[in-house]
Structure 1
Amino acid sequence: MKLSDVEKQALSDAIDKMNEGLDAFIGLYNESEEDKQLIVYDDDVTEIIQKAINRYGEDKIAKKINSIIREVLSLLASDEVDEGV
């Protein structure tokens, strides 16, 4: 294939940009972590949560669930202190 100097430069610039993009993707891949689900809900609980999200919105339900879990786990933490753990 014959190219003029201008075409060669444009092709070279395009290759450089592709390499930069590929480097960015490689960086993101190398920094990525596996997304592990902390809690596996029973099917009926998942259905209840989905109904609540549909009715009240994801943000409101997420806040409620987080506050409930925070409260339960704070009780567990105070039990461990009482037991000397």
Structure 2
Amino acid sequence: MKATEIERKAFDKSLDSILELFNNLEEDVPIIHFGDDVIENIEHAKEKYGADMVNQKINTIVREMLSWLDLEEADSDSEEEETTDNDS
């Protein structure tokens, strides 16, 4: 590919921008770490029933399970710990 000096500099600048973006990517950390057996069963369920239905069912179950927890109190406890840590 032939390029003028101006085109080469523009390409270098663009490439540097892409590399900088790549280097600044954050690692994608899963919210929940499922066991291998659970992942395998989810994959089989998605094949049999479809991804949308399985995702909906899993979300319904997790939503219900989380409703059993007093999450507002947990937020207050975390804020109090942060305040205590900051006061030290």
TM-score by length of 2: 0.59
Rg (Cα) greater in structure: 1
Q: Deviations along 1:42-64, whole A, 9 cap, x unmatched?
A: 23212210111111222332222
Tell me which amino acid in the other structure corresponds to 1:22: L
Count of matched residue positions in the alignment of Structure 1 and Structure 2:
74
Task: Pick 1 or 2: higher relative contact order, CA cutoff 8 A, min separation 6.
Answer: 1
Q: Which residue of 2 aligns with 1:71?
A: 64
Distance 1:50 1:19, change over 3 A: same
Tell me which stretches of 4 or more aligned residues in structure 1 moved more than 6 Å: none
* 1:36 to 2:29 alignment: yes
Q: RMSD in angstroms over aligned alpha carbons?
A: 2.7
Tell me which amino acid in the other structure corresponds to 1:65: I
Unaligned runs of 5+ in 1: 1-6
Identity over the aligned pairs, expressed in percent? 38
